[in-house]
């Protein structure tokens, strides 16, 4: 077990390393993002007799919606050479408008604050500006419920809460210096998707009414109604503008 003295020395050594080798900064930003839910869906006439034969169309629906967001993160930079280095950041993104009606009025999706992790590399120009490229991994928590009046899944009543999906963005950014410690940043994240999230199957579904949220595996004898895949992938594109304040700076 470390003594108080050893702990103090260790703290000083680690702090010294961080302040001399890593630039630590705080970022705040605001912007707009475009969220896409990707579902596989079977479209077919809803009918109450099984004597009908259907030529089912399996396709993807990609309901999109936009929202304004605010974000904050803490970032560390490690200098690899005079002009180049790596960065990592952890933070959170908060939606300004969290609830949206999507998919021809069929669903309401509600977003929550999400944690993010960024890693990447930067190139520092002599003028003090930065060009950055990297990746941003986010965990998107959301709730999804049917409106019962929508165009695609009318009369269905299903609510699923506490869903979450991981999504990946390719990020590119440019930062311009305002003063020695303050920069303004403009960045764009292009959505790549990453992981499907499994939507829970509603237990009260029967063949004659609702087949929403059921994985459509039986294509030779399709169930009735519009089938929706049990999995959905989320991607998001994001534009943001903000400021970054260097708490410690290895360049100064």
The residues binding other proteins (CB under 8 A) are 32, 34, 36, 41, 43-49, 51-57, 59-66, 100-106, 123, 125, 127-129, 131, 147, 149-152, 154-155, 172-177, 184, 186-188, 190-191, 226, 237, 239, 241
- 211-248 burial, b at 16+ Cβ within 10 Å, e below that, comes to bbbbebeeeeebbbbbbbbbbbbbbbbbebebebebeb
Q: Which is nearer to other proteins, 22 or 37 (CB)?
A: 37
Residue 84 CA to residue 155 CA, distance in Å, equals 57
Strands 196-198 and 114-124: unpaired
Q: Which is nearer to other proteins, 22 or 109 (CB)?
A: 109
CB of 22 to other proteins, least distance (A): 23
CB of 58 to other proteins, least distance (A): 8
How far apart are the two ends of the chain, measured CA to CA in Å? Answer: 37
CB 113 within 8 A of CB 164: no
Residue 161 CA to residue 144 CA, distance in Å, equals 6
CB of 76 to other proteins, least distance (A): 22
Q: Which is nearer to other proteins, 22 or 140 (CB)?
A: 140
Residues paired with 245 in a beta bridge = 26, 182
Q: Which is nearer to other proteins, 19 or 205 (CB)?
A: 205
For 10, the enclosing helix (H) or strand (E) is helix 4-21
CB of 185 to other proteins, least distance (A): 8
For residues 217, 222, 225, 228, the Cα torsion angle rounded to the nearest 10 degrees is 10
For residue 119, which of 78, 72, 166 has the smallest C-alpha distance?
Answer: 78
Q: Which is nearer to other proteins, 175 or 246 (CB)?
A: 175
CB of 29 to other proteins, least distance (A): 12
CB of 69 to other proteins, least distance (A): 12
Q: Which is nearer to other proteins, 19 or 181 (CB)?
A: 181
């Amino acid at each position: 077990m470390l003594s108080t003295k050893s702990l103090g020395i260790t703290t000083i050594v680690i702090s010294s390393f961080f302040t001399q080798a890593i630039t630590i900064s705080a970022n705040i930003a605001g912007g707009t993002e475009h969220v896409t839910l990707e579902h596989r869906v079977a479209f077919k006439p809803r009918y109450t007799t099984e004597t009908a034969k259907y030529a089912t169309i399996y396709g993807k629906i990609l309901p999109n919606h936009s929202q304004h967001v605010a974000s904050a993160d803490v970032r560390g930079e490690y200098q690899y050479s005079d002009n180049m280095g790596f960065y990592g950041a952890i933070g959170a993104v908060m939606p300004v408008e969290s609830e949206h009606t999507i998919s021809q009025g069929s669903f309401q999706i509600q977003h929550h604050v999400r944690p993010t992790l960024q890693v990447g590399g930067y190139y520092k120009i002599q003028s003090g500006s930065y060009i950055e490229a990297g990746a941003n991994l986010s965990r998107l928590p959301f709730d999804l419920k049917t409106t019962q009046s929508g165009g695609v899944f009318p009369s269905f009543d299903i609510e699923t809460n506490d869903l979450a999906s991981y999504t990946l963005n390719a990020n590119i950014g440019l930062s311009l210096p305002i003063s020695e410690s303050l920069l303004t940043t403009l960045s764009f994240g292009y959505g790549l998707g990453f992981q499907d999230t499994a939507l829970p199957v509603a237990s009260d579904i029967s063949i004659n009414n609702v087949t929403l949220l059921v994985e459509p595996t039986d294509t030779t004898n399709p169930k009735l109604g519009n089938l929706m895949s049990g999995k959905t992938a989320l991607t998001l594109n994001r534009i943001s503008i903000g400021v970054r304040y260097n708490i410690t700076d290895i360049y100064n």
